[in-house]
Amino acid sequence: MKQKLTYFFMVSYLWITFIMLGAFVLEVFMVYPNIFHNVPESFEVSMDFMEVASPHTFFPPLGLASWVTGAGALILVWKIKSARRWVLGSILVMILLGLISMVFEWPRNEIMFIEGQSVHSAEFLKQTAREFLMINWIRVACNTIGALMVFVGFLKFYKNQLHSRE
């Protein structure tokens, strides 16, 4: 039973992490070019488009699910040292990703999309957008590294399961 539960948490964590990575890549190459092509005017169009759902409604719950499934996977895989290091490393990178988002990106989102031109000059909004995009590449790197680490951790876990059956 524990093996099945461990497998479930490892696959869930791996799946959620790769969904996040895919969503980040989609956002960077499809959504952000539209949002940031003509700052600050493009912000207004973007806000109209994202009235019902936005990255803010998608990423925080997915990030929390990543942390929860990652913690479950780590607890259940703890005795498998070769997998533990990779899963732990992935969780630490994903926590770093979340912290970077909360500390650096969320305040900039508020400046660009909540306060906007009613509070800030166009030049300040352009500078904020440049900062946001620069920091976002760090987030993409963290997500990529975290996804690769959990993938290696899953392979180590699976290899251990195959050897334990022999």
The pLDDT, as a whole number, for residue 86 is 98
The pLDDT, as a whole number, for residue 163 is 85
Asked if the bond preceding 33 is cis, omega within 30° of 0, the reply is no
The pLDDT, as a whole number, for residue 33 is 93
Low-confidence ranges of the chain (pLDDT < 50): none
The pLDDT, as a whole number, for residue 131 is 97
pLDDT digits 0-9 by tens, 114-138: 999 999 999 999 999 999 999 999 9
What is the length of the chain? Answer: 166
The pLDDT, as a whole number, for residue 138 is 96
Give the whole-angstrom CA distance, residue 40 versus residue 123: 9
Give the whole-angstrom CA distance, residue 13 versus residue 156: 14
The pLDDT, as a whole number, for residue 128 is 97
The pLDDT, as a whole number, for residue 3 is 87
The pLDDT, as a whole number, for residue 166 is 67
Residue carrying the six token digits 């913690």: 71
The DSSP annotation for 51-107 comes to SS--HHHHHHHHHHHHHHHHHHHHHHHTT-HHHHHHHHHHHHHHHHHHHHIIIIIHH
